[in-house]
Amino acid sequence: MTDAASAQSWKVTLPCTRMEAEALEGDIAAFAMMDKPPVLMTSEAEPDSDESWRLEAYFEGKPGTAAVKLLRTLVPSARAAKPVIEQLADQDWVTMSQQGLEPVTAGRFHVRNLTGDPELPGHVNFLIGASRAFGTGQHETTSGCLMMLDRMRRVGMRFGNVADIGTGTGLLAFAALSLWPRAYATASDIDPVAVEISAENARANGVRLGTGAGRVGLFTAAGVDHPALIRRAPYDLLIANILAGPLIELAPSLCALVEEGGTIVLAGLLREQADMVLAAYRAQGMRLAQRSDRGDWPTLRLRKRPQIGWKRPRRFDSAERGEAWGFGSI
């Protein structure tokens, strides 16, 4: 490959389904080991068709056989399709890489992804650039969580110890700290790249890092498998914007980290998955306090029922750390 070819941008296109496209919103681990991972974008190939979607992967430099093969594993429905691989002009790459990055307003929050976008007066403004980590505010799961946090603050709810499990870009932890600035905030993700990006975003938005009040402590952890996450419990507010599968798997360990009367906000699940997720958390003593749907994506606010006598919950046992390997933030 010539130096000129290496410097050019390339696009690989594969067909996919809507379900596969939605799953890719949080899939950053597949290319995490690459120095320059591709930017993945999905769109409808045919309007109102769940089976006719497309995946476009933008590479800096011509993708090798291994990269294309790895891309295929993300969309199993395209195993018989021939990928379309094309070289792009530089100006086309700039245009395409910025598609879909319009600022998002959710309640009092305004999230912009490009430095050239102006701040919105009267709102809490965040600059969260597009990156390998999920959580720029574009997806309904993230904006749904922002709306839920805003509503909780408007009705006077107060929190002093907040955890954001599967933080992605750090946005939800930053938003919570802006609403309750004296709180202790903890944010974690299974992907170390997401934790690095969260730290960069914190500095870009003037969010203080650290373990004290009014600061965000960042940790790399699968589920809640980290001594610091357990030591800093119990939390009165825990946010988990991941996927339905790990939400169900992590229900016992997440609920064990929340104090009696505490709140859990869940997102990343589809409407048809809500009953299964709710059943898992009700079994741990949680009750549904509020539900808000944005398109096909519900956001659930749960409250931990106070218990008395022999049913009173014990503190989280560090020997029973919750793990959901292979899952990070959605």
Residue list, annotated binding site: 142, 166, 189, 241
Total residues belonging to the chain: 330
Show binding-site residues for S-adenosyl-L-methionine.
Answer: 142, 166, 189, 241
Task: Dig out the tokens for 215 from the structure.
Answer: 């600061």
The Cα 216–Cα 201 span in angstroms is 12
How far is CA 70 from each of CA 111, 180, 215, rounded to the nearest angstrom?
32, 42, 38
Residue with tokens 């946010």: 239
The Cα 57–Cα 155 span in angstroms is 43
> What are the φ/ψ torsions at residue 279 (nearest 5 degrees)?
-60, -40
Which of 165, 164, 173 lies closest to 128 in space, CA to CA?
Answer: 173
| DSSP 8-state assignment for residue 311 | G
**How many CA within 13 A on the CB side of residue 111?**
25
**How many CA within 13 A on the CB side of residue 233?**
26
Report how far apart the first and last C-alpha atoms of the chain are (Å, whole number). Answer: 36
Amino acid at 104: V
**How many CA within 13 A on the CB side of residue 229?**
30
